[in-house]
């Protein structure tokens, strides 16, 4: 491996001068700059990040820890984080916690051990004691997608409550009064907040919530299928259904197809997958601002690394978008911050 010392020998200058040329830390005469640059090129010198990090305590690496990469939406998160980071000269290390608190802990430890400059965490659950230890290490952390209670760190989230509210309002305005709501066990912020939005919309329009229209124990493909099927079998079935998860939306579509009920029921799902435009029956969707979440999280973490306090604490909500079927443009796009 060719080191600074080799370069300094080749160029006939001191190691310090080489370092100053590379990092532009001090003025070096044009003559020596040339000498050094030629030597670097000739020898194919590449700086050693270990040695540099050992001195500076900085790695130029941001750690991205994802809890569920099965969901296709995560690609745009990975994308935007990586791009934003690269633009600022950072590299991204990616870990999967795979819905396991233990793996999350491992990923966090690994991040500490690798001296990453900052961590973007999409947490597994509502708590992980180990996270507090990270904060004590003084390594910046921001939460993406989910928040963790009791932890004072910035947090970038989709405003799913407002998104759901908008979607339900749209349905009501297009004369739906019997609206189904399907989600998983209401044990995540996402589903809980989505349900809040649903309730609020009904309230605002003075519509009584009917418990038989609410299915809160669905999950994944099959769950969506079963939930919709049972809704359609009610004596007075809903004329519209909101589904708060991408996979469950799949199942919902199939159920409608099987029941040949596409003329009778309006569906709003959750996805930003392009394929959803081509699906029959046509559905409307709300899409999470995954890409923006990634970009903003990264910008915040970089600010924190540089000692700049993020001005929005502790939570930053990004709005979802509602795409109405048969319409290229999206219907509403309300931007809120708090």
Q: Which residues lie closer than 8 Å to 197 by C-beta, 6 or more apart?
A: 160, 161, 162, 163, 164, 165, 166, 167, 168
Q: Choose, by CB under 7 A, the member of 34, 56, 137, 306 that binds DNA.
A: 56
Distance of closest approach, residue 63 Cβ to a copy of itself, in angstroms: 9
Position 287 contacts a copy of itself (CB under 8 A): no
Token representation of residue 150: 């009791």
33 class by beta-carbon count within 10 Å (0-12 exposed, 13-18 middle, 19+ buried): middle
96 is in the binding site of which of a copy of itself, DNA, none (Cβ under 5 to 8 A by kind)? a copy of itself
Position 227 contacts DNA (CB under 7 A): no
Rounded CA separation 288/187 (Å): 19
Rounded CA separation 325/167 (Å): 12
121 close to 142: Cβ distance less than 8 angstroms: yes
Q: Choose, by CB under 8 A, the member of 250, 267, 293, 324 that binds a copy of itself.
A: 250
DSSP state letter for 309: P
Residue whose CB is less far from a copy of itself, 62 or 162:
62
* 286 φ, ψ (degrees, to nearest 5): -110, 140
Distance of closest approach, residue 231 Cβ to DNA, in angstroms: 58
5 is in the binding site of which of a copy of itself, DNA, none (Cβ under 5 to 8 A by kind)? DNA
Rounded CA separation 75/69 (Å): 8
Position 1 contacts DNA (CB under 7 A): yes
Residue whose CB is less far from DNA, 15 or 331:
15
Q: Choose, by CB under 7 A, the member of 10, 19, 170, 305 that binds DNA.
A: 19
Considering only residues 140 to 169 of the shown chain, the ones binding DNA according to CB under 7 A are none
Binding footprint of DNA on the chain (CB under 7 A): 1, 3-5, 12-17, 19-20, 22-23, 25-29, 31-32, 45, 47-48, 50-52, 54-56
């Amino acid at each position: 491996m060719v080191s600074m010392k080799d370069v300094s020998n080749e160029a006939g200058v001191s190691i310090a001068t080489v370092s100053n040329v590379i990092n532009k830390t001090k003025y070096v005469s044009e003559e020596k700059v040339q000498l050094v640059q030629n030597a670097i090129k000739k020898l194919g010198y590449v700086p050693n990040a270990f040695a540099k990090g050992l001195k500076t305590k900085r790695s130029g690496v941001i750690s991205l820890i994802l809890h569920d990469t099965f969901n296709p939406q995560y690609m745009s998160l990975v994308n935007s984080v990586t791009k934003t980071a690269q633009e600022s000269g950072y590299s991204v290390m990616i870990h999967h916690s795979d819905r396991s608190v233990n793996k999350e802990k491992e990923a966090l430890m690994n991040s500490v051990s690798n001296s990453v400059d900052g961590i973007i965490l999409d947490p597994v659950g509502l708590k992980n004691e180990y996270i507090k230890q990270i904060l004590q290490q003084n390594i910046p952390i921001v939460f993406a997608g989910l928040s963790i209670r009791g932890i004072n760190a910035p947090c970038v989230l989709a405003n799913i409550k407002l998104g759901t509210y908008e979607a339900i309002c749209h349905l009501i305005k297009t004369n739906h009064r019997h609206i189904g709501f399907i989600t998983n066990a209401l044990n995540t912020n996402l589903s809980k907040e989505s349900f809040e939005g649903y309730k609020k919309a009904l309230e605002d329009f003075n519509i009584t919530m009917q418990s038989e229209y609410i299915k809160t124990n669905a999950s994944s493909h099959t769950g969506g299928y079963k939930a919709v099927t049972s809704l359609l079998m009610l004596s007075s079935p809903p004329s519209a259904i909101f589904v708060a998860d991408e996979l469950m939306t799949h199942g919902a579509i199939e159920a409608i197809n099987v029941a040949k009920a596409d003329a009778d029921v309006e569906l709003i799902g959750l996805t930003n997958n392009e394929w959803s435009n081509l699906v029959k029956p046509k559905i409307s969707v709300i899409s999470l601002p995954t890409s923006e979440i990634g970009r903003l999280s990264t910008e915040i973490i970089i600010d924190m690394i540089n000692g700049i306090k993020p001005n929005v604490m502790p939570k930053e909500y990004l709005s979802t978008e509602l795409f109405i079927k048969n319409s290229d443009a999206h219907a509403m796009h309300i931007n809120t911050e708090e």
